[in-house]
Structure 1
Amino acid sequence: MTINMEKQVAANDQADQVINKPRERVVVVAPGRGCYNKDELGYLQRFHSDKQAFIAAIDQYREELKQTGIAKIDGAAKYSFKQHTPGENASALIYACSVCDFMDIDTERFEVVAVTGNSMGWYIAMACAGALDADAAIDVINTMGSMMQDGLIGGQLIYPEVDAQWRRDSEISSLIDRTIETICAEEGCELFTSIYLGGYRVLAGNEAGLKRAEEMLPQVDERYPMRLYNHGAFHSPLLEQVSEKGFASLGEFLFSKPQIPLIDGEGRIWTPYGADCSKLREYTLGEQVTKPYDFSKAVQVAVKEFAPDKIIVLGPGNTLGGPTAQALIDINWFDWTSKGKFSAAQQISPQMLAMGNEEQRSLCKIK
C-alpha cells in the first residue's frame, strides 16, 4: 500500500510550471489520541470512500494480528468507548482518517512546507512527510498503540493554563508546576508534565499522583482537571518499558529521511537532506515516549521557520484546533492576540483550516 506522498512532493516541484498563480504555503498539523469521538463515527465512510485500497491494506495488517479492522470500527452502528477509545483501535483508526485527509489536500492550491503533530500525531506527521512509508507507518503506529492492550500504565489529565481569552496566565502555570513538585514529594505519588498543548497542560502520572492533582488543582468551568479516558501516562518516565519494547520491535529499516520538513515535540526540524534516520528512530521510540511533548513549541517553530500563509489541521474531529490557535496567540502570530481576535479573523479570512470541520474542509480539498 502507498500513501500518496509522491503527489505532494511532485506538486512542490512542478506547480510553478503548471499554475501561474503562486500556491499558498501551508503547515500541516496532525492530531493525536482523543480526536475520534461520537460525532466522528463513520468518518472514513463519509469522506474517504474513494480510498478503499489504502484502508483495506491497514485492515489486512490488523487481521494478521487478529485485530478488528478499522473499516468495521468506523462503520459501527454506535460509538462505543470500549471499542473506539483503546489504543490498539484508536491509533490505527485516527492514523487512517488523518492520512486520508492529507491525501485530499489540493496540491495545486497549497504547497505543504512542513508537517508537525501532537503526541501520536508525531507518527502520523512522519507518515505524511514520507519518513515512514505506508507499511512502516501502520507497523509503528499499531505497535506503539497496542503496547498497553493488556493494561494501562498510569493515566493523563488535562488542565487549562490560559484565561478566557486564551492568553497565557503565568500564575496558573506556576501553580501547576508547584502542584507537580508537591505531589512528587509525597510517598507513592508520581506526576509529570506530559504535553504542553497550547493553552492546556496535560499531566501524566500514576493513580495516586493523578488523584492528588485532582484534589489540589482548583476546579475550572466544572470540567477541569479532567481525566483523559483510556489514556496511559504518555510522554513520561512511567513509559520507559514501553520505549524499550518499541526499540525491540521496530527496526531502523522502517525509518526514512522525510520528503517534507518535520517538526518534532522538542521543536527540532528534521529536513529531507539533513535527517539522520538512526537519530530519528532514537527520538521517536525514546525521548518522544518518555519525556514531555511540547506541541506548542512545535507549532511555533513551524510558523517561524516556514512562514506559512495558512495552517491545515487534519481530522478526524477538531479537538486540536483550539490548542493550535492558542499556541499561535501566545506569539501573536497572524496578529492573533486573543480568542476574540482569532475568532473575528477566522470569520473574515480563515488562516487556520480544520479538515474535521466540514465547511473548512471544502476550502482544503481538491475541487
Structure 2
Amino acid sequence: MSARKTALVVAPGRGTYGKSELGSIGRLHGARFAAQIANFDAQRRDRGQPTVTELDGADRFSVSTHMRGDVAAPLIYAATALDWLSIDRDTFDVVAVAGNSMGWYSALALGGAVSIEDGFRIANAMGLNSQTHGPGGQILLQVVDEGWRPVPGLRERLFDLVADINVRANHTLALSIDLAGMLVFAGNEEGLAALLAEAPPTPGRDPLRLAGHGPFHTPLMFGSSDKAKAELPPSLFGRPALPMVDGRGHVWRRFSSDSADLWDYSFGHQILAPYDFALSVQVAMREYAPDVVILPGPGDTLGGAIAQSLIGIGWQGIASKADFAARQAADPVLLSMGRAEQRGLVTGLQ
C-alpha cells in the first residue's frame, strides 16, 4: 500500500452554508452518521430550537433564517464535523488543524480538544451568543489584484485609514479577520460608515457589508465573551489530540497545552481580538509541511483565502492565481470537500 499523504484540515466559518448547501447534510451524511445527527438534533430540541434535520431539510433556503447566527453556526459545524469523520484515514494522515473565525470551534473538535458532541454544543451556543453585541458589523475589502498578487501599498493605506477613523469621537473600527487577499474590518455603525465613505479604490469588488454579521473579533463583542464563559465550562476542554493553529498563529500542541488556557483563549481573545486566518494557515504549512490542505464543507468559498495564504509565503513556488491553478490541475495542494470531484479523493468514495 502506498504511503499516506499528510494533510492540514481547515474548518470554514460563517457564510459557507448557502442556498447550494441546503439539504447537503442529510444527502451526504444521513445514512452513515444518523446517530451523530440525532445527537445534534436532540441538543437543539432540548433548547427549544429547530433541529439540524429540519433546517437542512427545509423546502427553500431563507436568508433571514439560514444566515442568522443561531442557525448558521450549528449547520456549518454539523457539515464540517461530519465531513471530518468522512476523511479516508487510509489515504490521509492529518498532521494539524486550523479554522477560520467561528471555524475555530469546529477545529477544537477536529483537533480532539473537545468531543464532537461538545463541539456542537459550543458551536450552537456561540451561534446564539454571537448575536449579543451592540450596533455594528463587518466590511470586506479586497487587497489583491486579479492575479491574486498584493496591490502595492493598499493594505497599508487601509490600516492607516482604519487607525485614523478609530480615534474619532464615537467611532470604533478595527481589523476583524485577515484573509490574505481580503481584509475584514469591524466596528460600530459610525466607524463602518466612515470606512465605506473614505476607503481608497479596491480591485475586483467594492467594499462589501457582510449581511447579518456583528462586529466580530473586536471588544464590541464583550457580551458574547461573557455569555460564553458563563455557559460553557472549562470541563468541556481537554488537551488536543492533534496540533491546532489558532487565529494568532499560535500552535496548541498535544502534550504542552493547558486546557484551561485553551478555554480562556477560545472564549476570550478569539472573540475580542483580530483573527489572522492567513497567518494560521501559513504557520501550519511551515510547521508541518503537509502534502495537501483539506477543506471540509459546507461549500468551498474559503478556498480562495487558503490559496492566497499559500501565495503569501510562496508555498512550493506558488506566487499567483495562475500558479495555483496550474498546481491544482497537475497535483492538487487544496482538496475542497464541497467540490464533488475533490470530495471523492478525500473520502475514497468515488
- Using structure 1 for the length normalisation, give the TM-score: 0.92
**Rounded Cα–Cα distance in structure 1 between residues aligned with 2:23 and 2:78:** 12
Name the residue aligned to 1:205: 187
Structure 1 residue 330 corresponds to structure 2 residue 312: yes
Counterpart code for 1:40: E
**Rounded Cα–Cα distance in structure 1 between residues aligned with 2:204 and 2:58:** 32
Name the residue aligned to 1:255: 237
Name the residue aligned to 2:158: 176
Structure 1 residue 283 corresponds to structure 2 residue 283: no
**Rounded Cα–Cα distance in structure 1 between residues aligned with 2:72 and 2:344:** 25
Counterpart code for 1:35: T
**Rounded Cα–Cα distance in structure 1 between residues aligned with 2:59 and 2:98:** 33
> Tell me, which stretches of 5 or more residues in structure 2 are unaligned?
none
Name the residue aligned to 2:147: 165
Name the residue aligned to 2:98: 116
Counterpart code for 1:23: R
- Aligned residue pairs total 348
* 2:132–2:223 Cα contact (<8 Å) kept: no
CA offset digits 1:6-60 (Å, max 9, x no partner) = xxxxxxxxxxxxxx42110000000000001111111112211221111111111
Name the residue aligned to 1:16: none
**Rounded Cα–Cα distance in structure 1 between residues aligned with 2:134 and 2:44:** 21
Q: Report 1:313-328 matches (<5 A).
A: 313-328=295-310
Name the residue aligned to 2:15: 34
Shift of 1:153: 4.5
Counterpart code for 1:43: S
Which residue of the other structure, out of 33, 47, 54, is the alignment partner of 2:28?
A: 47
In the superposition, relative to structure 1, how do residues 192 and 151 fare at CA in structure 2: closer, same or farther (>3 Å)? closer
Identify the range of structure 1 (255-264 vs 165-174) with the bigger mean alpha-carbon deviation. 165-174
* 1:41–1:79 Cα contact (<8 Å) kept: yes
Name the residue aligned to 1:226: 208
- Using structure 2 for the length normalisation, give the TM-score: 0.96
Counterpart code for 2:52: I
* SS of residue paired to 1:159: strand
Name the residue aligned to 2:175: 193
* 1:152–1:230 Cα contact (<8 Å) kept: no
In the superposition, relative to structure 1, how do residues 58 and 181 fare at CA in structure 2: closer, same or farther (>3 Å)? same
> Tell me, which stretches of 5 or more residues in structure 1 are unaligned?
1-19
Counterpart code for 2:66: H
**Rounded Cα–Cα distance in structure 1 between residues aligned with 2:167 and 2:95:** 44
**Rounded Cα–Cα distance in structure 2 between residues aligned with 1:210 and 1:223:** 17
Shift of 1:118: 0.3
Structure 1 residue 214 corresponds to structure 2 residue 214: no
Counterpart code for 1:324: I
Shift of 1:188: 1.5
* 2:310–2:318 Cα contact (<8 Å) kept: yes
